[in-house]
């Protein structure tokens, strides 16, 4: 009894301290200017124990380029947690549409955009997750200069994203000096290392940089044109998706081409492969496609130019349709503080075909950046769902092999509740993780295993072995 009596004042004190901390945070928010970006509640949203913010950061005033963000904070009991920026690829696809709404975000969208339900394996359980629609013209991000939509490329995207970060940290000053990571998938295999390189180089010579950059992770991402093509075609042939003749044709026609700007000969070979593959979901070859009419087929949306399965970076049996319905709702846009100026006078879309079809600079390889950032001692993880045929595991393995890194932990299975979750190999400066049975969007297909992986990444620990069970903290 005496123990219980002694605890009551302590509990009351903790409650008062918690209240004071929340009040202090609210005061700081008001002072810093981000209070206006706080989301009270999204339409159809369940009750949650974490805060969310969304809004715009102008990255180029003369052109009127403004990037839209969504921040889903970790719960109070998990703070102070790291800050992680998530980027989807395309180029031209929305991180709100994919990362936030069908992968690692706090919510999933109900059919017909009727509302939201909680994602049990949301990554903001262990980190503050910042989703960014980039470049301008993607999702809710916009530009007042029409030509921007036809001149986007890797370089401007990286610099605009870096400007966004600098201004965002000024708006959210309590995140300055917090451990910061960058993550993404698909064509973000370019975005993530390019932005990481900018942050790293601009941090040089600063004793305590505002952006306390610790490392990055990339999933099923483009790394190197030659090795990615080589591994992709091999995966297609090994899984019976193309004939022997087409496999040889692809290798002859495409191996030295660009993914974004293929030659006419490569283009023709890719069209032949598309015909042979048939109506399957290359982003997840063993799962069904969305049962929609031929006039609005998943294939036509996923292949906006009739070819290049890697171009949109999206998985959809039907979830993409739900997001389209939800984010075009006026009440949803008001709750998100999106399109407040009316600059988006068009239907919100998960991906911009205009940006995708007119992409400019796209370096052939990220390997030099990997080498630079490995040498800098940053934490670098590459992960791959092994049923993806868009940027398959074989492509990623060839690209990593080209780095010539010594192995520190040999290829081995990792476990989640006594089941093999995938395999991993640790190199000097880089960790490779595969996720068994996952497609292009790993957190969508294997949400629990993806969260286990994410926790291990944040902790800088190898993937769990058989005896550690891979339990979620």
Active site residues: 186, 388, 440
Q: What kind and span of H or E run contains 410? A: strand 407-416
Classify 341 as helix, strand or coil: coil
CA distances from 8 to 2, 49, 217, 335 (A): 10, 24, 45, 40
CA distances from 77 to 50, 74, 125 (A): 10, 8, 10
Residue 262 contacts residue 270 (beta carbons within 8 Å):
yes
E runs forming strands in 340-406: 379-385
d(CA 106, CA 326): 15
CA distances from 254 to 100, 229, 301, 359, 402 (A): 34, 7, 24, 19, 19
Q: Name the pairing type of β-strands 407-416 and 419-427.
A: antiparallel
Locus of tokens 């960058």 = 182
Rounded to 5°, angle at Cα 250 from 246 and 253: 130
| Closest among 99, 104, 82 to 450, alpha carbons compared | 104
CA distances from 146 to 8, 65, 366, 425 (A): 63, 10, 29, 46
Residue 284 contacts residue 387 (beta carbons within 8 Å):
yes
Residue 107 contacts residue 311 (beta carbons within 8 Å):
no
């Amino acid at each position: 009894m005496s123990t219980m009596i002694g605890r009551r004042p302590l509990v009351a004190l903790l409650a008062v301290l918690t209240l004071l901390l929340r009040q202090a945070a609210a005061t700081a928010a008001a002072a810093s200017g981000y209070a206006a970006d706080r989301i009270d509640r999204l339409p159809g949203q369940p009750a949650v124990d974490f805060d969310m913010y969304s809004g715009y950061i102008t990255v180029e005033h003369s052109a009127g380029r403004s990037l839209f963000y969504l921040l889903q904070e970790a719960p109070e009991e998990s703070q102070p947690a790291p800050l992680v920026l998530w980027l989807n690829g395309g180029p031209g696809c929305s991180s709100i549409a994919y990362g936030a709404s069908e992968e690692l975000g706090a919510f999933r969208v109900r059919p017909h955009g009727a509302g939201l339900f909680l994602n049990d394996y949301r990554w903001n359980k262990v980190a503050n997750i910042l989703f960014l629609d980039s470049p301008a013209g993607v999702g809710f991000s916009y530009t007042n200069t029409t030509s921007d939509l036809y001149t986007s490329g890797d370089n401007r995207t990286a610099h605009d994203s870096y400007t966004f970060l600098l201004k965002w940290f000024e708006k959210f000053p309590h995140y300055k000096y917090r451990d910061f990571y960058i993550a993404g998938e698909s064509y973000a295999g370019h975005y993530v290392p390019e932005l990481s390189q900018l942050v790293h180089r601009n941090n040089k010579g600063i004793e305590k940089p505002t952006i306390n950059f610790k490392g990055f992770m990339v999933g099923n991402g483009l790394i190197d044109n030659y090795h990615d093509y080589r591994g992709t075609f091999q995966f297609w042939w090994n899984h019976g998706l193309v004939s022997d003749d087409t496999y040889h044709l692809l290798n002859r026609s495409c191996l030295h081409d660009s993914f974004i700007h293929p030659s006419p000969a490569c283009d023709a070979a890719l069209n032949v492969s598309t015909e042979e593959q048939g109506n399957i979901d290359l982003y997840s070859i063993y799962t069904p496609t969305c049962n929609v009419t031929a006039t609005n087929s998943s294939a036509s949306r996923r292949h906006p130019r009739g070819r290049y399965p890697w171009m949109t970076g999206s998985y959809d049996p039907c979830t993409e349709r739900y997001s389209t319905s939800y984010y075009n709702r006026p009440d949803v846009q008001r709750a998100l503080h999106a399109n407040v100026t009316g600059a988006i006078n068009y239907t919100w879309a998960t991906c911009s075909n205009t940006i995708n079809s007119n992409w400019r600079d796209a370096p052939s390889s990220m390997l030099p950046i990997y080498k630079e950032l490995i040498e800098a001692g940053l934490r670098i993880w590459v992960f791959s769902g092994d049923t993806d045929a868009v940027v398959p595991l074989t492509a990623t393995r060839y690209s990593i092999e080209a780095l010539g890194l010594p192995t520190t932990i040999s290829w081995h299975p990792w476990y989640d509740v006594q089941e093999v979750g995938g395999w991993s190999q640790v190199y000097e400066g880089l960790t490779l993780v595969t996720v068994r049975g996952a497609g292009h969007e790993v957190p969508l297909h294997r949400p629990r295993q993806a969260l286990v992986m994410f926790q291990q990444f944040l902790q800088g620990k190898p993937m769990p072995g058989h005896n550690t069970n891979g339990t979620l903290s």
